[in-house]
A and B are shown apart, each in its own frame.
Chain A
Amino acid sequence: MKLLRELLFPLIAVVAAFIVGGILILIIGDNPIETYRLLFGSALSWPVGIGYTLFYATPLIFTGLAVMVAFRCGLLNIGAEGQLYVAAFATAWVGITFANLSPWLLIPMCFVAAVLGGGVWGAIPGILKARFGSHEVINTIMLNFLAVALVSYFIQYHYKAPGDPIMQSVAIGWGAHIARLGKFIPGLPQFIPLNLAFILALVCAGLVYIFLWRTKWGYELRATGTNPSAAEYGGISVRKQIIIAMTISGALAGMVGINEVLGHRYRYYDGFSDNYGFTGIAVALLGRNHPVGVIISALLFAVLQRGGIPVDAFTQHVTKDIVQVLQGTIILFVAAEAFFRGPFARWGLMKRSKV
């Protein structure tokens, strides 16, 4: 029954959002079924569609895990966006500065830069909350804007190729490139940027599961999230847990930098994130703050993102903006779950549980 409930409400939220989206498509004069067929058909076609879908899913798994870890500690990290920008810049900085090192040295260094960059930017709101009690939501919003401004300053004034009209850094060294999966999987063309970071994302999901549910530290973190005063009474330092959770959360978000810089563009490109940090909130919520759920919902959101492109091109009126409309609606329905719980309770299908 518990598993059913865990699966049922996210599923209803998704279906409800697609119905709302379908009505909107109908109103503006297109065929919803045709539109959705275009969307899913292209995103799930082998090899190009699936390749890109998995590529789009990679950053969302990282940010979904990031938001999830913070959530489990009772914190809402809406700063993944800023954390991943800082991390991507740090990754690119290492890749540029030490461009001539051997890959055996350079790639691990870039990984560390991504994790540290995101971790530090995530730790700041954690420390501010633990030390001064200031709310992490506001601080992470502010730190998002700070990150964007700071990184854009460094790119514009220090790391841009002279005369380049595009806001992007110079290229990182060859030694920092990580392999695209097309190299290993027959039939998957190498122009698809799906790379080893996808595997890393899956590994991270496993590690997050082990950490949270199979270690003492994870237990303490979750205990803090469930009931901070009981945790404090049981000898857990809530302040320490807040800082740890935000640091891990930031580090996970930071790994988006590995996918973007080492596996995709091989440089820092200003404004590369397509709202990954914010979509991560949706991914975590829809995935019920569980690593398996996060992977599944990251895949769903990636399908939407990839499928938006042919929808844009091949329907009369619908633009790819339908994707954000669907995403927003899904989160809204997931958040207001009680909206569905009411009727279910009335029909006697589900006992009303405390939200």
Chain B
Amino acid sequence: MAEIFTIALIYSTIRLSTPLILAALGGLFSERSGVINIALEGMMLAGAFTAAAVTYATGSPYVGLVAGMMAGMLIAAIHAVACIRYQADQVVTGTAINILMLGMPAFLSGAFFLSSGSTPQIPKEHLIPWIPIVIAFLMVPLSWYVLYKTPFGLRLRSVGENPEAADAAGVHVARMRYAGVLLSGVLAGIGGAYLSIGQSSLFTRNMTSGRGFIALAALIFGKWRPVQTVLACLLFGFTEAVSIQMQGVVKLPSGDDIPVQFIQMVPYVLTIVVLAGFIGSSRPPRALGIPYQKER
């Protein structure tokens, strides 16, 4: 057992948690403003693809990172306009974006790079393995501060809890929600960019493989609060790190491998259990998912 709990495991936990933390904090801003965001997955894919493509084209990962952020924000803008301006069902819109972003990067890379679904390899010196990690961990106190200690955060939370009252108090409900959703796109975009130009060195088809949903799970597991959410991300990153390290190392008493699938299941089971109220209650923002229509 001892050989897997090493410095390498800690490092690997941090690496694997980084995209989750970024996306989950993004989801936090969106959902605390009252807009359900299951499109995190699609926003991450947009960020990952754009960052890799732009880094490859310009040779600068910094330009790539900014482009990834912008791409995430652009997708978030679609989600925001559909949900806020046109009052579309937020879950359905999110699903549409996820399907769209499964196809779009592959469609574009097929056209620009003549490959089916992946970008060309980026040289090692053009990768940024540390910057997104630093951003992610800086975002933790920053998100907490913004959400709880600034007027912006107070307004954001108020439109997610009670938009009528916020509106009566003079808060522009739609504007706050746009801000929340766009912020989620920026952060999820960075999270995606980290996958393609930080952890890996190219974009591959569906490379997020469900991380947007795990981030969402962490958000719920963390009861829509920044610090708890980040702890949940670290926990989920840790289970993934353990499952990678354990492969072929740790055996059951019978001599068989421990099936990796069971470790993969941990975040999902925990989320269901928490949501059912077995470990304290996890209460979503009160106006989550309800479009706000100003009374005339």
Which A residues form the contact surface with B (CB < 8 A)?
24, 28-29, 76, 78, 128, 131-135, 137-139, 141-143, 145-146, 149-150, 152-153, 156-157, 275, 278-279, 281-282, 285, 317-319, 321-325, 327-329, 331-332, 334-339, 355
A337 to B93, CA, bound (A): 11
> What mask results when residues 73 to 106 of chain B are scored 1 for a CB within 8 Å of chain A, else 0?
0000010011000111101110111111111101
Q: How far is the CB of B187 from chain A (nearest CB, A)?
A: 20
> A138: which B residues are within 8 A, CB to CB?
216-217, 220, 271, 275
Query: Are A76 and B259 in contact, CB atoms less than 8 angstroms apart?
Result: no
Complex: chain B residue closest to A28, CB-CB = B111
Q: Are B259 and A156 in contact (CB under 8 A)?
A: yes
Contact (A336, B276) CB under 8 Å given A135-B284, A153-B259, A324-B99? no
Q: Are B99 and A327 neighbours in the complex by a CB distance under 8 Å?
A: yes
Interchain CA distance A156-B247 in the complex, whole Å: 14
Interchain residue pairs A-B with the least CB separation, the first 6: A328-B100, A324-B103, A319-B110, A331-B96, A28-B111, A153-B261
Residue contact A325 to B93, C-beta cutoff 8 Å: no
Besides A78-B95, A134-B272, A325-B100, 7 other CB < 8 A contacts? A137-B36, A150-B265, A156-B259, A275-B102, A327-B100, A327-B103, A336-B88
- B268: Cβ under 8 A from any A Cβ: yes
Assembly CA distance A235 to B208 (angstroms) = 47
Of A24, A78, A149, A281, the contact of B261 (CB 8 Å cutoff): A149
Q: Most chain-B Cβ atoms within 10 A of its Cβ — which of A78, A142, A149, A279? A: A142
Q: List 17 A-B contacts (CB under 8 A).
A: A28-B108, A128-B276, A137-B91, A138-B271, A142-B272, A145-B268, A153-B261, A317-B111, A321-B110, A325-B107, A327-B99, A328-B99, A331-B92, A332-B78, A338-B87, A338-B88, A339-B86
B202 at interface, CB cutoff 8 A: no
Known: A153-B262, A322-B107. A146 touches B268 (CB 8 A): yes
**Which chain B residues border A322 with CB–CB below 8 Å?**
103, 107
Smallest Cβ distance from A29 to chain B, in angstroms?
7
- Spell out B's residues near A (CB within 8 Å): 36, 38, 78, 81-82, 86-89, 91-93, 95-104, 106-108, 110-112, 116-117, 210, 213, 216-217, 220, 259, 261-262, 264-265, 268-269, 271-272, 275-277, 284
B265 and A146 contacting across the interface, CB-CB below 8 Å = yes
Task: State the main secondary structure of chain A at its contact with B.
Answer: helix
Q: Which residue of B lies closest to A134 (CB)?
A: B275
Contacting residues, chain B, for A331 (C-beta < 8 A)? 92-93, 95-96, 99
Residues on A with C-beta less than 8 A from B210 are 145
- The CA-CA distance from A69 to B36 in the complex, in Å, is 23
| Contact status of A325 and B104, CB under 8 A, knowing A153-B261, A339-B86 | yes
Given contacts A328-B99, A338-B86, contact A152 B275 (CB under 8 A): no
Verify B91–A152 contact, CB threshold 8 A: no
Chain A's closest residue to B117 (CB) is A321
Q: Specify which of B87, B264, B276 is in contact with A149 (CB 8 Å cutoff).
A: B264
Residues of A within 8 A of B87 (CB): 338, 355
Which of chain B's residues have a CB closer than 8 A to the CB of A337?
A: 86, 88
Whether B107 pairs with A24 at a CB distance below 8 angstroms is yes
Nearest chain B residue, comparing its CB with the CB of A339: B86
Instruction: Say yes or no: B261 contacts A150, CB within 8 Å.
Output: yes
In the assembly, what is the distance between CA of A331 and CA of B100, in Å? 9
Q: Pick the residue among A149, A153, A321 that contacts B107 (CB under 8 A).
A: A321
- If A150-B261, A322-B107 touch, whether A335 touches B276 (CB-CB below 8 Å) is no
Is A328 within 8 A of B275, CB to CB?
A: no
Q: How far is the CB of B289 from chain A (nearest CB, A)?
A: 9
**Neighbouring B residues of A336 by C-beta, 8 Å:** 81-82, 86, 88, 93
In the complex, which of the residues B95, B101, B104, B284 has the most CB atoms of chain A within 10 Å of its own CB atom? Answer: B95
